[in-house]
Chain A
Amino acid sequence: MDNYDYIREIAKKKMRLDGRKSDERRHLSIKTGVINHSDGSALVELGGTKALAGVKVLPGEPFPDRADEGGLIVNFEASELANNYESDRIMYSVEVGRVTDRGIRESNIIDLKKLVIEAGKKVLFVYIDIFAINNDGNLLDVANIAALSALVNAVYKIEGSEEKVPLPLNLDKLAISHTFVKISDTILLDPSVSEENAADTRLSIAVGEKINSMQKGGSGFFTAEDVDYCAGIAFAKKEEVKNLLTKAVKR
């Protein structure tokens, strides 16, 4: 009952079930500081999709091959209860965590070298835990925005000092994820869950100053022109989200 045929049919005319334009996002809202016992947290809603992210900064031993760097660990979890219907099950929840991790890591927004307390012995690890609360499609973007908001929101204390410091972030490098799906040769931004079910293929692009990461899913294909078109939209739309994010998050 996900209107599979109908979505594919009207996509040819660039129409969508909820009346959006092909390059229009759903309403985005960001709330930060929602969890008391985390260092930073954010609740992001994009249409009906909701995700909660929490950041915790903890000391630990560095990885043996990276003695002079702190660590960044992203964890994503999607409960079965997040889906409205059985058919909406998230088939790619491991992928979401990895793509979010890559988007943040490759943008170099967080300077891991500054997280060292004692080289080779003690560094800080940044744990980002993201929970999908409700899945109405496009968890990739929601997880990305939630993780970034929580990172920007985070302040931490080092043992033995009372002062709370924000993470060493370079806010110019915020890499915002944009997910596109291709349905009957039409490219749609921010798919809802029924559009994800009907899609041939999916492309996620995280853009900051340049393209930071990309991820393709599904069995269909994108032509070179399609990818250019997607990247163009992503660059045009990213400021909107970035402004909302920097405004919503008080450092």
Chain B
Amino acid sequence: MIHVKDHDIVTPGELLSDEGNGSHGTYLEGTKVFSKYFGVIRIEPKGVGVQPLTSVYEPMEGDEVVGQITEVGGKYWVVDINAPYYTRLDVRDMNIRIDTNELDKYLDIGDLVYVRVFKIYPNHSADVSMRGTRYAKLPGRTTAKIDIMKLPRLIGKEGTMINIIKTETNCDMLVGQNGIVWINGEDYNKALALAAVNLVEKEYYNPNLMDKIKELLKNVRGKV
């Protein structure tokens, strides 16, 4: 017997079902299925699953992420990509030939980069690469943080939400798959874009989020 309905909100340890049909986000005790996370119930043909409401970024091979240089080493940089593990960018993974004596001439501590995760080691640490035309150092140092579970909300259907924020605030924005959003533009416009991202983070559950964002961008703009 399944004790919950689709889209119910459950807490960790809550009894979901007696049939042993748990899928992701659940654990079993005998035939009883319990929730592992604070999240939303997803009932699927294969069983009961829980999608957590918040989550920590776990790097995966192929992810395109925004990171910040935190350390300059002998032949590599250490990059903070919002993951709980150590991440490196090797000099060999750059498009240009690098003079290893002056690594900080290319990327210095605090600089933002758009990179791809290309290798995960067994201890979960990752190597990132800047090989390719899509990846580069990002100008400016303004970022916003958003939970990765809320990223789909920020991007919207086919990018509608993020495009509205971009055009209304006149900012360049880049959403990394690690929940770091790079924002570049004029000071005032950046503040607007940041406010919009923070609103998504706060009201991600709201079905009328798009209207709220439009209202926010219109109101603040009216004050100038």
Contacts and interface: CB of A to CB of B under 8 A. Distances in A.
B195 A6 contact: no
Given A1-B180, A17-B194, A10 B141 contact: no
A136 B188 CA distance: 24
Nearest to A19: B195
B29 interface: no
Interface string A1-43: 1011110011001010111000000000000000000000000
Contacts of B140: 6
Nearest to B142: A6
Contacts of A15: 187-188, 191
A10 B187 contact: yes
A164 B195 CA distance: 49
A3 B191 contact: no
A5 B187 contact: no
B80 interface: yes
B141 A4 contact: yes
A17 B187 contact: no
Interface residues of B, number: 17
B143 interface: yes
A15 B188 CA distance: 9
B68 interface: yes
A1 B80 contact: yes
Interface string B95-110: 0000000000000001
> Range of interface residues on chain A?
10 to 19
Contacts of B82: 1
A5 B194 contact: no
Given A1-B180, A3-B142, A4-B141, A9 B187 contact: yes
B141 A5 contact: yes
Interface string B49-78: 000000000000000000010000000000
B190 A6 contact: yes
A118 B180 CA distance: 62
B68 A1 contact: yes
Nearest to B66: A1
B187 A13 contact: yes
B137 interface: no
Nearest to A17: B194
B143 A1 contact: yes
Residue picked from B140, B180, B191, most chain A C-beta under 10 Å: B191
Interface in B113-153: 140-143, 145
Contacts of A17: 191, 194
Contacts of B141: 3-6
Contacts of A4: 110, 141
B141 to A, nearest CB: 5
A3 B180 CA distance: 12
A4 B140 CA distance: 11
Nearest to A13: B187
Nearest to A7: B142
Residue picked from A5, A6, A15, most chain B C-beta under 10 Å: A6
A5 B112 CA distance: 13
Contacts of B142: 3, 5-6
Nearest to A5: B141
A5 to B, nearest CB: 5
A10 B143 contact: no
A19 B190 CA distance: 12
Contacts of A1: 68, 80, 82, 143, 145, 180
Contacts of B187: 6, 9-10, 13, 15
Given A1-B145, A10-B187, 19 more contacts: A1-B68, A1-B80, A1-B143, A1-B180, A3-B142, A4-B141, A5-B110, A5-B142, A6-B140, A6-B141, A6-B190, A9-B187, A13-B187, A15-B187, A15-B188, A15-B191, A17-B194, A18-B198, A19-B195
Interface of B: 68, 80, 82, 110, 140-143, 145, 180, 187-188, 190-191, 194-195, 198
Ordered nearest first, which 8 A-B pairs have the shortest CB separation? A6-B142, A1-B143, A5-B141, A1-B68, A10-B187, A3-B142, A19-B195, A9-B187
26 contacts: A1-B68, A1-B80, A1-B82, A1-B143, A1-B180, A3-B141, A3-B142, A3-B143, A4-B110, A4-B141, A5-B110, A5-B142, A6-B140, A6-B141, A6-B142, A6-B187, A6-B190, A10-B187, A13-B187, A15-B187, A15-B191, A17-B191, A17-B194, A18-B198, A19-B191, A19-B195
